[in-house]
Chain A
Amino acid sequence: MITLKQIEKYYTLKGAKSYVLRHIDADIQKGEFVSIMGPSGAGKSTLLNIIGMLDEPTYGSYKFMDQELSSLSERKRIEIYRNHIGFVFQAYHLIDEMTVEENIEVPLHYKNISSSERKSRVADLLDRFQMVAKKDLFPHQLSGGQQQLVGIARALAPQPLLILADEPTGNLQSAQALQIMDLFRQLNKDEGITIVQVTHSEANAAYGNRILNLVDGVVTNNS
């Protein structure tokens, strides 16, 4: 599903290239659950953002579902992105001015899904995450774990093939973290959604079936 070849990313600081990622080669198959690990500043988030098309590599080839991304138009890329990728963040990143229900609904608006279809999908997700009673609350009225559940629900709303999660449990207590990880496992197993997560915790990494170790922008271990 994802093929990275010789991906490089550097920032030019005062004329000098400062490399964040170097010679990254990686393959991620459909249905995999991959964890990216490594010390702080190693380039994990950068790599995830490149995979998620939020950022572009300075060099190298990135094929998503056998299409070379650099050859696609901006419009086409957004199209792929909208339909297939969902993001989950450490800081949840919900829109403060929107209720739970509306937050989940926004990506569906961008996909031009009909009103009735939107309503039913949002209702399903609320139901599934046991948030029906909270659907009219605003993010600041929820606990961290609940906010992250909304974040995941929002990522799932467009029915993506791939979920990218950047330290999704980084701000959560362990009980809530467990719940989120269980949810990821279930999504991966039962629905075949491909998941790539960044994590610091060995325990979280263990939920996945593969670990990508990143040190100073280089993949040291791809097990």
Chain B
Amino acid sequence: MFRLNLKIALRNLWKNKGYTFINIAGLSVGMAGCILIYIFISYQLSFDQQYANKDRIYRVVSYWKYSDGEEFQNGVPRPLAYAMRNDFSQLEEVAPLQRGGGVVQVMDEAGRVKMKTDETVFYTDPSFFKIFDVKWLAGTPEQSVTEPNTVAISRKTAIRYFGDWQQAIGKSIVFKQVNQLKVSGVFEDQPETSSNPIQILLAYSGFKHRQLKEWGSVSSGTECYVLLKEGMKPADLAGTMQAFIKKYYSDDSDVKQEHFFQPLSEIHVDERYGNFAGKTTSMREIYGLAAIGLLLLLTACINFINLATAQAIGRSKEVGIRKVIGGNRKELLTQFFTETITLSFFALLLACVITEAVLPALSGLFKDELNFSLVNQPALIVFMFALVLFVGLLAGVYPAVVLSGFNPVLALKNKVNVGNSGGGSLRKVLVVMQFAITVVLIAGTVVIVQQMKYMREKSLGFNSSAIAMAYLPNDSISVTKFDIIKARVAALPGVTSVSLCSVGPSSSDNRTSNFSYNSTKDMDFMVNTKAGDEDYFKTFGLSMLAGRPLAKSDTLKELVINETLMRKLNIVKPEDAVGQYITVLGEKVPIVGVVKDFINKSLKEGVSPIVLYNAKNSMSELAVKMDTRQISTLMPQIEAIWNSYYPNYVYSSSFLDDHIRAYYESEVIMGTLLKIFAGVIIFIAFMGLFGLISFVATQKTKELAIRKVLGATTLELVNMLNSSFIKLILLANLVAWPVTYILVSRWLSGYAYRIDLNLWPFMVAMVISLLITVLTVSLRTYQAAMANPVNALKNE
């Protein structure tokens, strides 16, 4: 029976080629979207999942609760890891993972430098490898990361340095000019999907820092990983953690500090903490995409159901006959499911082709290595077959149930009217639903586009264009060369202004500090500290509300505060702030000016309270404002000057504008995705509409002919059909608006600076949906209405 049914299914599909095409095209585009989203999501969820102990591995993270907010940090105080190793008996292993960096020099046989690169290195100890089962090609963790004078490198790095990883063992490299390190281990490269992109590993015992014992300072460069003992849950550690915090932190502070055990699987998907790879995809985005995937599938299935029920009328006779010759309901259900599953299988084949074609563009968008290979991803095969079954069953269930439920006697008399037996109204409900989804997406896309435009055009309170930021090493010798480099760069023709600073006005690198004002006790919030010299204000075009900019100085002697800090200190008039004293970074210094607020993070966040100060040893960047036309000639000159003073360091620079743009990378990605998928869903929905209208037009051929004989014009006939669909689309808009409003308001609330929601997105969505409907309906019904009525009536 299956084979015969399949054959009949194919013949039926072939007989209605047009509908079959519409069905398969809509469905395969929808499926391709789903597969792409699946690939993307499963890629995101595969981060850090390659380790045998993955379910027992946790990262220790920090959390602070302030009176007016909270802060999440991937970093922990430097002494935490070893303290935890002592105090937590529930932990099998504890390992610090400290990020560092510096210039690495690779020597040739003769001892000459053959390669000089700026590298990120990590310090850890052998217990790290008891937590993470990394494969070692040569050497062991014990040999490589115990002694300060050894180094282990990844296979890729070994090849880069020495041409071949087998050659690497025993060779030497020089780190930060002075540390001679012997390569004693080579480990396998970590996959792309790793939150710890470790290339060069040093022993933690060799890590030097003046705050190594300091519990009050936390850097995002210090992480700590733990392996829970078998059978332990983080909740079992809560008591010990409480005692731990009590033991190491004084409780007279207003700031409440906590540490959590973050599961390994969450490191990539919790954007609040961040990680060493600098890659996160929030669960919000993942859920958002999954929802879009579901919507895609839903629209495609609605098409399918609509077309199949419309076709049901034509198949009532067949159903009647099958029942009369002994087919029971179950067999008919099987038959119809065979058809829908066959159809969705064809759609899947086409979807695979589409996916292959689109995937490179998608991985380009995400700057990730996504691949679509069935061989390596058995889960994908399972997913695709599940997809076929799901779509086949969902799309088949309504037509199958309706068709198989026909009374055979009535069916044979052609008296079943699907239109009146519920199918028609269901079809209307489905069309409304489908278009409501479309309208939500169109309006949502418009809002995102508006918000993006707003953010691009919003004044940041400072000038960011044509400013290059060049890195400066700030060890004590390098610092002495700051002034001469600054002077030489400033003298270049085309350079407008040069400033030494810690970071630009807007930066993702934010240093915060506790401070006190009019009291010996610390305030209950932290200030953002930025170092900038006397030219900082001019270079970035910051404007003063009161007082003056910072004066030339080598050490912290005075402060400029921003408006937000002034307000938080309850000072009303900027003039009143000038002359007050603040104790910060270990010095009690006067406020000499108040600067107008500028956006110091992204527009998602509000402005932080900021103090600006001038101190040479805090500087780490050279900001160069140039004439836009001369950027390309100036950049090599700046690099040449830099290299002449820092021959042992590696020059790197970037533009402030690019840096600011990078804040909105995820918005750009989400915006692009939404535009694409909204486009796809619109395509599917209108494809379905076209199919449906074709059916209606075919069915109404006779009615149209009679009306024409009675004197209706073609235009009147087209309008007649149009009006019924327009009503549905208007209804869909009505349904979609409140939903859109809720979703979009929630999305916008994530931005401190946002557009006011206006009527535009809703209008655009309505106009687009109406326009396309009228076009589709008119196009299709015009043909039917134009036909010679005599032909249509003769058929009877």
A93 touches B4 (CB 8 A): no
B4 touches A102 (CB 8 A): yes
A158 within 8 Å of B by Cβ? yes
With contacts A102-B4, A105-B4, A109-B4 known, is A95 near B326, CB below 8 A? no
Near A by CB (< 8 A), chain B positions 1-41 give: 1, 4, 7-8, 11-12, 15
A136 within 8 Å of B by Cβ? no
Near B by CB (< 8 A), chain A positions 81-96 give: 81-82, 86-87, 89, 91, 93-96
In the complex, residue of chain A having the shortest beta-carbon distance to the beta carbon of B328: A78
Across the interface, which residues of A come within 8 angstroms of B408, CB to CB?
Answer: 54
Whole-angstrom distance between the Cβ of A162 and the nearest chain B Cβ: 13
A98 within 8 Å of B by Cβ? yes
Whole-angstrom distance between the Cβ of A191 and the nearest chain B Cβ: 19
B15 touches A97 (CB 8 A): yes
CA distance in complex: A98, B322 (Å): 12
B318 within 8 Å of A by Cβ? yes
Beyond the given pairs A78-B328, A93-B324, A106-B327, 4 more chain A to chain B contacts, judged by CB atoms under 8 angstroms and listed by A's residue number, are: A49-B409, A93-B317, A106-B322, A110-B325
A44 within 8 Å of B by Cβ? no
CA distance in complex: A64, B322 (Å): 22
CA distance in complex: A155, B317 (Å): 17
| 20 A-B pairs in the complex with CB atoms less than 8 angstroms apart | A54-B408, A54-B409, A78-B326, A87-B324, A89-B412, A91-B412, A93-B317, A93-B321, A95-B318, A96-B318, A97-B15, A98-B11, A102-B4, A106-B325, A107-B326, A109-B4, A110-B326, A110-B331, A154-B325, A155-B325
CA distance in complex: A208, B12 (Å): 40
Across the interface, which residues of A come within 8 angstroms of B8, CB to CB?
Answer: 95, 97-98, 102
B320 within 8 Å of A by Cβ? yes
In the complex, residue of chain A having the shortest beta-carbon distance to the beta carbon of B319: A95
A55 within 8 Å of B by Cβ? yes
Whole-angstrom distance between the Cβ of B329 and the nearest chain A Cβ: 9
Whole-angstrom distance between the Cβ of A107 and the nearest chain B Cβ: 4
Convert A56-89 into 0s and 1s, putting 1 for each residue whose CB lies closer than 8 angstroms to a CB of B: 0000000000000000000100100110001101
Q: Is the interface of B mostly helix, strand, loop or mixed?
A: helix
Q: Number of B interface residues, CB 8 Å? A: 22
Count how many pairs of residues, one from A and one from B, have CB atoms less than 8 Å apart in the complex: 58
A82 touches B326 (CB 8 A): yes
B317 touches A109 (CB 8 A): no
A111 within 8 Å of B by Cβ? yes
CA distance in complex: A75, B331 (Å): 13
Across the interface, which residues of A come within 8 angstroms of B324, CB to CB?
Answer: 52, 54, 87, 93
CA distance in complex: A111, B331 (Å): 11
Near A by CB (< 8 A), chain B positions 382-422 give: 408-409, 412
Which of A86, A109, A154 sits near B1, CB closer than 8 Å? A109
In the complex, residue of chain A having the shortest beta-carbon distance to the beta carbon of B412: A93
Across the interface, which residues of B come within 8 angstroms of A91, CB to CB?
Answer: 412
Across the interface, which residues of B come within 8 angstroms of A95, CB to CB?
Answer: 8, 318, 321-322
CA distance in complex: A188, B267 (Å): 82
In the complex, residue of chain A having the shortest beta-carbon distance to the beta carbon of B317: A93
Whole-angstrom distance between the Cβ of A175 and the nearest chain B Cβ: 26
Whole-angstrom distance between the Cβ of B320 and the nearest chain A Cβ: 7
In the complex, residue of chain B having the shortest beta-carbon distance to the beta carbon of A93: B321
B15 touches A87 (CB 8 A): no
In the complex, residue of chain A having the shortest beta-carbon distance to the beta carbon of B11: A97
Across the interface, which residues of B come within 8 angstroms of A154, CB to CB?
Answer: 325
With contacts A78-B328, A110-B326 known, is A97 near B12, CB below 8 A? yes
A110 touches B15 (CB 8 A): no
Across the interface, which residues of A come within 8 angstroms of B409, CB to CB?
Answer: 49, 54-55
Convert B321-347 into 0s and 1s, putting 1 for each residue whose CB lies closer than 8 angstroms to a CB of A: 111111110010000000000000000
B327 touches A110 (CB 8 A): yes
Across the interface, which residues of B come within 8 angstroms of A52, CB to CB?
Answer: 324
CA distance in complex: A83, B534 (Å): 102
In the complex, residue of chain B having the shortest beta-carbon distance to the beta carbon of A75: B328
CA distance in complex: A110, B321 (Å): 13
Whole-angstrom distance between the Cβ of B7 and the nearest chain A Cβ: 8
Across the interface, which residues of A come within 8 angstroms of B326, CB to CB?
Answer: 78, 81-82, 107, 110-111, 158
Whole-angstrom distance between the Cβ of A50 and the nearest chain B Cβ: 10
Whole-angstrom distance between the Cβ of A219 and the nearest chain B Cβ: 21
CA distance in complex: A107, B4 (Å): 12
Convert A144-161 into 0s and 1s, putting 1 for each residue whose CB lies closer than 8 angstroms to a CB of B: 000000000011001000
CA distance in complex: A98, B11 (Å): 9
In the complex, residue of chain A having the shortest beta-carbon distance to the beta carbon of B320: A93
Across the interface, which residues of B come within 8 angstroms of A54, CB to CB?
Answer: 323-324, 408-409
CA distance in complex: A49, B317 (Å): 16
In the A-B complex, the 10 residue pairs with the smallest Cβ-Cβ separation, listed nearest first, are A82-B326, A110-B326, A109-B1, A107-B325, A97-B11, A93-B321, A87-B324, A107-B326, A78-B328, A54-B409
Convert A26-43 into 0s and 1s, putting 1 for each residue whose CB lies closer than 8 angstroms to a CB of B: 000000000000000000
Whole-angstrom distance between the Cβ of B3 and the nearest chain A Cβ: 9
Across the interface, which residues of B come within 8 angstroms of A87, CB to CB?
Answer: 324-325
Whole-angstrom distance between the Cβ of A121 and the nearest chain B Cβ: 14
